[in-house]
Amino acid sequence: MSLSPSSPSATCYEAVIGLEVHVQIKAASKVFASVGTGYGHEPNTLTDPVVLALPGALPVMNKAALDAIIKAGLLLGCRISPVCKWDRKNYFYPDSPKNYQISQYDLPVCLGGEVEIELAGPSRNVMGEHKRIPLTRIHLEEDVGKLSHGTIDSLVDYNRAGTPLMEIVSEPALHSAEEAYAYLTSLRATMIYGGISDCDMEKGQLRCDANISIRPVGEKKLGTKVELKNLNSISFVRDGIAHEIRRQVALLERGGVITQETRDYDGTTGTSQSLRSKEEAHDYRYFPDPDLMPLAVDEAWKERIRATCPELPFHKQRRFLEQYQLPYTLTSVLVWDRALADYFEEAAGLCGKAQAAGNWIVNDLLRELGNAKATLAECRVAPRQLAELVKLVDAGTLITASAREVFTEMFATGDDPGVIADRRGLKSAAADGNELEQWCRDSIAANPKALAEFKAGKDSAINAFKGPVMKAAKGKANPKAVDETLRRLLANS
């Protein structure tokens, strides 16, 4: 992306952005202690001697956390390091009980890899451009506690301390706020898909720092980077980056100099302020943690994890377009929620009418869920039942308007569509062939004018017979069957 100059003579700039994303791993216990993890508990209840760094306490690696980061790495196409080790990152801060954080310095679990992103298309019906954003690394570390500052004192809650945390570092390969937004959206979906994290930003399960620099278009050398912190929603990431790019361009255009610093972005006011300069940066004195042994990750371990890896959203989308011939708009709704996509595939498989099933899900099911403020997991309509509904409509047993009615009741009661249709007398009368045939004969007999027109070749004249049939059937006749019966009788009369 080039940023247009504010005056004709000014330079065009290109933004270069790298993201550091912290993702909390969903794990039953902390990364180096056996005590549980969670959000919203009484302060300092999810602690033990290890989490509180009492004298004599020692860390022990939680293998489930390692499984999760290996899975993340496999999903994102990283190389999984055959050996990973743990390092201490030393710094004093009251949210860090040991005053060092167990992290990974030179041997992270995952190296390389990429995140596939989709930029907005020309309209919402059209797929946008796809890019692959390369990753530098993913490493495992422990989360810190939480500080809350009062007027005269500060309180610290160590419940979060020691929660397994992945740091996913991208190459400086993003060039706009929109790309960063798309990157986070895709990364978040991948983590949720893999069951690695719930990525709830409000609960701090996904946090993002951005390194942003600008350079004149065509320039190869990177400009001075500014680190933006506290971007605590995906929209704030987009807005914060856009703001920082504007700030840097304006600064350079005024003849100013960008200084390497860390800035704090306030999403509510849309402003940022300097937190610290490069000179105040820490010397973390990394060294291998002597309390933890390096760990070998062999092929068997990787294969065991690989077997649990789901198909990723974009792969699924390409398959849905191909296999089910779905329109792009449907796929772009279905694939981002793994449970919804699975729901769709089950229903489509059972009824053989993929697009109809997809439409029901995207239009009706999601609307009802939205109205009820419910999740798919709470939905009482099973994919099998939705498939039955599609089949009833397809067979002409239910007309669309009735089917909608049936669906609403299915959603409310969880009953089968056939049962509801029977109960409410909504089924088309098509099943009773003799009765329908008699109504058709009566209608033809009662309208010789239309009969003559039809015989003269005016096909639309057939519609004149349908009204009385429907009236006789009290609206429950299957229109397709009515049409077929009328044509058969007309051909013979």
Partner 1 sequence: MPVPLHFQTLAELADRLAKREISSLELTRAVISRTEAVEKSVRAFNSRDAADALAQAEASDARRAAGQSRGPLDGIPVGLKDVIAVKDQPLTASSRMLANFVSPYDGTVTTRLRRAGAVLWGRLNCDEFAMGSSTENSAFHPTSNPWDLTCVPGGSSGGSSAALAAGEAIATLGSDTGGSIRQPAALCGVVGLKPTYGLVSRFGLVAYASSLDQIGPMTRTVEDAAILLGAIAGHDERDSTSLRVEIPDYRAELAGRRGPWRIGIPREYFGAGLDPEVAAAVERAVEYYRGLGCEVRPVSLPHTEHCLDTYYIIATAEASSNLARYDGVRYGHRSTKAKDIVDLYFQSRAEGFGAEVKRRIILGTYVLSSGYYDAFYLRAQKVRTLIRRDFLDAFRGVDVLLTPTSPIPAFKLGEKTDPLAMYLCDIYTIGVNLAGLPAISVPCGFTGTGLPIGFQLIGRPLDESGLLAAAHAYDRVHAWGRKTPSL
Using CB under 8 A, list all residues that contact partner 1.
Answer: 49, 52-61, 88, 90, 92, 94, 97-100, 154, 156, 283, 285-287, 290-293
Least spacing, CB of residue 46 vs partner 1, in Å: 15
Question: Is residue 80 a contact partner of residue 104, using CB atoms and an 8 Å limit?
Answer: no
The two structure tokens encoding residue 135: 């990753």
If one counts every other C-beta atom within 10 angstroms of the C-beta of residue 98, the result is: 18
Which DSSP state fits 364? I
Least spacing, CB of residue 294 vs partner 1, in Å: 10
Residue among 61 and 395 whose Cβ is closer to partner 1: 61
In 57-96, DSSP assigns E strands to: 79-80, 83-84, 87-90
In 179-336, DSSP assigns E strands to: 206-216, 226-231, 261-266, 271-277, 287-288, 295-296
The closest of 144, 141, 189 to 167, measured between CA atoms, is 141
The closest of 363, 360, 362, 341 to 351, measured between CA atoms, is 360
Residue among 86 and 344 whose Cβ is closer to partner 1: 86
Least spacing, CB of residue 31 vs partner 1, in Å: 13
Question: Strand, helix or coil at 383?
Answer: helix
Least spacing, CB of residue 238 vs partner 1, in Å: 34
Least spacing, CB of residue 151 vs partner 1, in Å: 14
Alpha helices (runs of H) in 276-382, residue ranges in sequence order: 299-306, 313-323, 328-334, 338-351, 354-359, 366-372
The closest of 207, 183, 205 to 314, measured between CA atoms, is 183
Residue among 156 and 489 whose Cβ is closer to partner 1: 156
Residue among 152 and 257 whose Cβ is closer to partner 1: 152
Least spacing, CB of residue 326 vs partner 1, in Å: 50
Rounded Cα distance, 281 and 33, in Å: 30
Residue among 97 and 240 whose Cβ is closer to partner 1: 97
Least spacing, CB of residue 329 vs partner 1, in Å: 52
Residue among 59 and 358 whose Cβ is closer to partner 1: 59
Residue among 97 and 417 whose Cβ is closer to partner 1: 97
Chain-centroid distance, C-alpha 371: 20
